[in-house]
Structure 1
Amino acid sequence: MNFDYTLAFAKELDQADPLASLRKDFLFPKQNGEQFIYLCGNSLGLQPKAAREVLEQQMANWENLAVEGWFEGEDPWMFYHKELKSLMAPIVGASPLEVCPMNTLTVNLHLLMVSFYKPQPGRFKIIMEAGAFPSDQYAIESQVRFHGYDPKEAIIEVSPRAGEYTLHTEDIIAQIAEHGAEIALVLFGGVNYFTGQWFDMEAITKAGHAAGALVGFDLAHAAGNVPLKLHDWDIDFACWCSYKYQNAGPGGISGIFVHEKHFTDTSLNRFAGWWGYQEAQRFKMEKGFVPEAGADGWQVSCTQVMPMALYHASLKIFEKAGFMETLRIKSETLTAYLIFAVNQVNKELGFEQFKVITPTEAADRGAQVSIIAKDKGKEIFQQLVAHQVLGDWREPNVIRLSPVPLYNSFEDVFKTAELMLKISKEILI
């Protein structure tokens, strides 16, 4: 598509957008009575208008049914997670049996590594991307130490080439092949939180399996952002949070994926809890853990009803949108327009003040554009916030802007670029 850097063109794109009406399903923050242009969905998604209603319904169930709410009412809590499973599955490309909402992200990462990180003498290493989100780094380090290994020896990090910011798929595959006989687990993010790079998950999985390793992904920045095919790509396991692109509220419930090929593998360790026990026999309270079929067998504690209700409110909007394929079309165009607009700002300034480090190829990025601000970046970012544009800042010099197809518009993108230009002229020239 050929873009024009005008407000009229941005409005034309919005008028032709089949998803534009979804914007009204969300609540936008305000400052001094003015609504923000919100471009921080990569960190915390907006509140669906339905969130308060579903939460109040569950509060009413608690009030009116108390403990009987587990088995009575329209949506008994005992089985509430099952409706979410049917809505989660299309978002990550899985069957409902392969997914389950439970716990929070890093807790689930630990629980899944109990099952899928199985180090042995000679094959004990984990390969991951350099610069992964700190939670992943800490979880992996602690798991390695738990098994008696030194993280400096057991963790292999794949770094960008000199002078670059993102990884080449061939470099990842080459590293996996080079260390193949030593690797027990390949564990990557789906989308890198800092650069917004979407890794070739299918290629990484094939390379990991060819090396004899298991393969898992942290999808914190991928689930609800990019179309995934976890089952078809033969990924062993994955987990994600729901509060970023899936708008389930701060600290929202996490989700897990376990490929069905592992369901009957009795050699897998797991940290068991009674909610993962066989559902039909759970209340017999018998000794000896017998897991429920599918991903539900990795549950530990009982259903977190309130967080699940908030997640459910957002998942229904995804369903209305047609799930990920429809959203992806708009997402690619939104981010392309943002990259185009940033380049136009540089042209107007006469120098490259803003360097985009997110991949320019649509297939290699999600709904995020990371921008190095070369001079006075933090001051510019603070002025953006002061003028009702809310992205986020990452030290030392990166502004992350995430136009989310569920609720952002092309007009949002154009106005943000215009404000970047105006502020830069005032501060730098």
Structure 2
Amino acid sequence: MDNKKAGKFIYLPFLLIFETMKFENTLAFAQSLDQADLLSDRRNDFLFPQQNGKPFIYLCGNSLGLQPKAAREVLELQLSNWENLAVEGWFEGSSPWMFYHKELKKLMAPIVGASPLEVCPMNTLTVNLHLLMVSFYKPAGSRFKIIMEAGAFPSDQYAIESQVRFHGFDPKDAIIEVSPRAGEYTLRTEDIIAEIEANGAEIALVLFGGVNYFTGQWFDMEAITKAGHAVGAIVGFDLAHAAGNVPLKLHDWNIDFACWCSYKYQNSGPGGISGIFVHDKHFGDTTLNRFAGWWGYQEQQRFKMEKGFVPEAGADGWQISCTQVMPMALYHASLLNFEKAGFIEPLRAKSKTLTSYLIYLVNEVNSSLGEEQFKVITPAEEKDRGAQVSIIAKQDGKEIFQQLVAHNVLGDWREPNVIRLSPVPMYNSFEDVFLCAELMLKISKELRR
């Protein structure tokens, strides 16, 4: 490979980037990128599903991440602790369960740009969204509305609808949805900000996804937060498709709260434990409501079993039930892989190039077909997307998707005509991306005969 033409990886402490890149639509070029990739060995830390004796090209990490090889080991360790220590495992052994979440907090914090005190692993995503809204959705007088993106994941829609009904409001009156302009698929930041400003006196809460699940658009979270705060609103985010995918600075961006699942880009297993973030500026606010439980009570006094809830310092004070040891162990296994990779920045650098290469290859497929069979609706600008590329198949979409799966390429289908492909930098290769596009072209040609 001619490095001056194709570019090369440069590795600085915890930073992996490409120089100016000119892509080529060849297997040899894709393989040359893999040879230059200093994260390529991370692929060996994961288990790939098999079909007909061959591993899948797995491009569905936006829905469920692959199993880390270390998952079985850490889970067996905790099973062993349960077997040998039983109830004493809460305070005995190499990682006593009573304090196990603190090991994870140190590894979670760099992934979302927070301090360990501001994050906590607990519950599942929508449960945490409800718990945080108990604290941070505080309608009063004319300020009772929630503004969100149209087309948010249904769980968010349902949670928000039920919260406003709980407070006695009609969702039609209390929820403002921001939609893309006619003929567009993604939101413009200026339109989000304009809608916030236009309704500012009535907005109690701005609640967006970090990355939209359908289009893969990464919203300008910092700008949205500034706009929300400027009109006197609280600002929170559902980071299901953002945490472990894109670089976040929740503390520095002054975001009030956030929550995320850990089973997508953070590979903690189906239904894996969730995480929360609460900005430390709220820790001293005694006016915040919360649904309290024993595990959120101050740690040093917890076993006195006294009445009158006194929260533990930081995000831990939002806990309700005791540590979920087994799901936490699986999350721990994946977080250790992030630590080995240098956390988010190296992964992000590779991710931008992976998605750019995939988009380039999709356009090459269209050129070979002589028409736009596949339309990418994920933003073209790297800063506006994560690892996911959403593609409208203009004809035979479901058949193309099914044929991809039959040929060991596993992405994700969304009605009515969208194929979501997510090359995850932790375990996907440039060859994966090339072979996927090559197969898309082959299948499309065969369906036209």
CA distance in 2, matches of 1:180, 1:390: 43
Given candidates 410, 414, 417, the residue that maps to 1:390 is 410
CA distance in 2, matches of 1:424, 1:121: 57
The equivalent of 2:254 in structure 1 is: 234
Matched, 1:144 2:160: no
Q: Which amino acid aligns with 2:138?
A: K
The equivalent of 2:134 in structure 1 is: 114
Shift of 1:121: 1.6
Matched, 1:6 2:15: no
The equivalent of 1:352 in structure 2 is: 372
The equivalent of 1:322 in structure 2 is: 342
Given candidates 146, 159, 162, the residue that maps to 2:179 is 159
Q: Which amino acid aligns with 1:53?
A: E
Q: Which amino acid aligns with 1:302?
A: C
Question: Displaced runs of 4+ in structure 1, greater than 4 A?
Answer: none
Q: Which amino acid aligns with 2:345?
A: E
The equivalent of 1:372 in structure 2 is: 392
Shift of 1:385: 0.1
CA distance in 2, matches of 1:304, 1:60: 16
After the TM superposition, which residues 303-314 of structure 1 pair with which residues of structure 2 at under 5 Å, given as runs? Answer: 303-314=323-334
* Matched pairs, number: 429
Q: Which amino acid aligns with 2:257?
A: F
Matched, 1:216 2:253: no
The equivalent of 1:301 in structure 2 is: 321
The equivalent of 2:9 in structure 1 is: none
CA distance in 2, matches of 1:371, 1:162: 18
After the TM superposition, which residues 10-409 of structure 1 pair with which residues of structure 2 at under 5 Å, given as runs? Answer: 10-409=30-429
CA distance in 1, matches of 2:447, 2:263: 35
Q: Which amino acid aligns with 1:375?
A: Q
CA distance in 2, matches of 1:248, 1:382: 27
Q: Which amino acid aligns with 1:403?
A: P
SS in 1 for 2:117: helix
CA distance in 2, matches of 1:18, 1:199: 29
CA distance in 1, matches of 2:152, 2:38: 35
Shift of 1:428: 2.2
SS in 2 for 1:11: helix
The equivalent of 1:424 in structure 2 is: 444
CA distance in 2, matches of 1:428, 1:311: 45
CA distance in 2, matches of 1:52, 1:156: 45
The equivalent of 2:12 in structure 1 is: none
Shift of 1:4: 0.1
CA distance in 2, matches of 1:380, 1:293: 52
The equivalent of 1:415 in structure 2 is: 435
Gaps of 5+ in 1: none
Deviations 1:35-89 (A, max 9, x none): 0000000000000000001001100000000000000000000000000000000
CA distance in 1, matches of 2:153, 2:141: 28
Deviations 1:269-290 (A, max 9, x none): 0000000000000000000000
CA distance in 1, matches of 2:390, 2:57: 17
Shift of 1:14: 0.2
Q: Which amino acid aligns with 1:9?
A: F
RMSD: 0.3
* TM-score normalised according to structure 2 size: 0.95
Shift of 1:8: 0.3
